[in-house]
Amino acid sequence: MNDLHGIVFACRSDANLGELTRPRNTCSLPFGGRYRLIDFMLSNYVNAGITDVGIIVHQSYQSLLDHVGSGKDWDLSRKHGGLRILPPFGYAERGGEYKGNMDALAGVAEYLENIRQDYVILAWGDMAVNLPVAEVFQQHLDSGADVTMVCTPTLKGAPRFSEYVEVDDTGRVTDLSVHPVAADKTLESLEVYILSKKLLLDMVDYCAAHDIYNFSRGVLQPRLKTLKLMSYVHKGYVARFQSVSGYFERSMDLLDPAVRDDLFNPDRPVRTKDRSNPSTYYGPEAKSNHSLVADGCRIEGEVENSIIFRGVTIEKGARVSNSVLMQGTVVKSGASLAYVIADKNVTVNQDRMLMGHFTYPLAIAKSSVV
């Protein structure tokens, strides 16, 4: 399994996520009580035996750097290979905005040429999915495909930001639509691709020479007939994050045991930065029901239907329901929260009442004091 090289695109900050992506890249959005979104794809790679991973970063990636560090929490801190952060040096000369994934790859062309492996997997780092990458790779080799793309039959994305594919009986992709007005096909592409290093380099070169920025529009669509483009259908859980309410809904999905069992499959554990938190302490009057609670919290109040990240404090007499409280949130005594997303280190003072709605959760910006 060492013949596969991992590339993660960590270069979009989705504006529709509002307050949640202001201080960070979408890939470093906290999710599921103790993870950042990039943890899922990095873990998928590592669980498939991938040892060399390049992360292409572009904007506001400081929080991402802080999170992945040397890669040691994913066993990617290695003497040879391991984790490489690929900042946008390529753009410095040309200036301007990052324009698409092919453009991002062109910016790191030299890195790609030096890849030791014969195959490359490309994926965005802003999905929560436990993908059996080893299986996808095996199918790629067995099917003799030029490119294998991972698809889901459970449509999750907003059509304006998603891609859909049509396949024939053999699983070969016959049509691909990019960002349509409405979902017009039965399979949604997760924009995860496996292809040979050689083909990738050819494509990057071709795109750079022809001013093509988008992989789907510029490479896959025009070559549907000539490229053997095969689909891999992933039936497991997939979460994509394209709006604040979507983030909230996907967080609440985790309260379903079937979703947790799929996403946190112990055979393919999701690794994240270790913070050496102690266990969570529940006080004498604490209540906690139907919630996901990470380590290092002090819970003396009441929690229901919520996702509580590491190091959260909920004081006596405080009530939290249907909310997502990120790392370091402090809810003081008597405060009451419902349908709230509190970003990192938010403090909610005594007796405050904050209430959103399931369709419109209230997002509180990082480090705010209410």
Partner 1 sequence: MKKEVVAMLLAGGQGSRLYALTSQVAKPAVPFGGKYRIIDFPLSNCVNSGIDTVGVLTQYRPLELNSYIGSGQPWDLDRSDGGVHILPPYMREGDQGTWYKGTANAIYQNIGFLDLYDPEYVVILSGDHIYKMDYSDMVDFHKKTQAACTISVLEVTLEEATRFGIMNVDENDQVYEFEEKPKHPKSTLASMGIYVFSWKKLRQYLIDDEADPNSSNDFGKNIIPNMLAAGEKLMTYRFQGYWKDVGTINSLWDANMDMLAPNNGINLYDNSWPIYARTPVKPPHVTGPNAQVSHSLVTGGCRVDGVVENSVLFHSVTVEEGADIQYSILMPGAVVKKGAVVSYAIVAEGAVIEEEATVGAPPTDDPDWGIAVVAGGVTVGPKAVIKPSAMIREDVKGGEQA
Q: Catalog residues that contact partner 1 under the rule CB under 8 A.
A: 32-34, 72, 257, 260, 264, 269-272, 274, 276-296, 298, 303, 307-308
Minimum CB separation from partner 1 for residue 4, in Å? 22
Q: Which two tokens stand for residue 39?
A: 């943890």
Q: 79 vs 225, which CB is nearer to partner 1?
A: 79
Rounded to a whole number of angstroms, the minimum distance from the CB of residue 299 to partner 1 is: 8
Q: Which of 345, 370, 344 is nearest to 356 (CA)?
A: 370
**Token digits of residue 289:** 């029901």
Distance CA 187, CA 135 (A): 19
Choice between 117 and 280, CB closer to partner 1 = 280
> Could you tell me the smallest distance in angstroms from the CB atom of residue 33 to partner 1?
4
Nearest distance, CB of residue 238 and partner 1, angstroms: 17
Cα separation values, 188 from 33, 158, 279, 310, Å: 27, 10, 40, 33
CB 5 within 8 A of CB 14: no
**Which of 40/248 has CB closer to partner 1?**
40
In whole angstroms, give the CA distance from residue 53 to residue 45: 8
Report the distance separating Cα 290 and Cα 321, nearest Å: 10
Q: Name which of 298, 302, 354 is nearest 330 in CA terms.
A: 298
Q: Which residue has the tokens 């436990």?
A: 130
Q: Which is nearer to partner 1, 63 or 265 (CB)?
A: 265
- Look at residues 361, 269, 365, 355 and name the one whose alpha carbon lies nearest to residue 319: 355
Q: Which two tokens stand for residue 355?
A: 């209430």
Among residues 203 and 270, whose Cβ is nearest to partner 1?
A: 270
Measuring CA to CA, which residue among 118, 158, 134 is closest to residue 47? 134
Gap between the Cα atoms of 160 and 113, Å rounded: 34
Task: State in angstroms the smallest separation of the CB of 29 from partner 1.
Answer: 16
**Furthest CA-CA distance within the chain:** 67
Least distance between partner 1 and beta carbon 106 (Å)? 35
Closer residue to partner 1 (CB): 120 or 270: 270
Tell me whether residue 211 or residue 261 sits nearer to partner 1 (CB atom).
261
CB of 85 to partner 1, least distance (A): 20
Shortest spacing between CB 270 and partner 1, in angstroms: 7
Kindly tell me which of 179 and 287 has the beta carbon lying closer to partner 1.
Answer: 287
Question: In angstroms, what is the minimal distance from the CB of 283 to partner 1?
Answer: 6
Q: Which is nearer to partner 1, 324 or 340 (CB)?
A: 324
Cβ contact 43:74 at 8 Å: yes
Which lies closer to partner 1 via its Cβ, residue 70 or residue 154? 70
Q: Are 318 and 335 in contact (CB under 8 A)?
A: yes
Q: How far is CA 272 from CA 22, 42, 68, 331, 338, in A?
A: 22, 9, 8, 25, 28
CB of 185 to partner 1, least distance (A): 33
Q: Which of 53, 56, 33, 58 is nearest to 43 (CA)?
A: 53
Tell me which DSSP letter residue 205 carries.
H
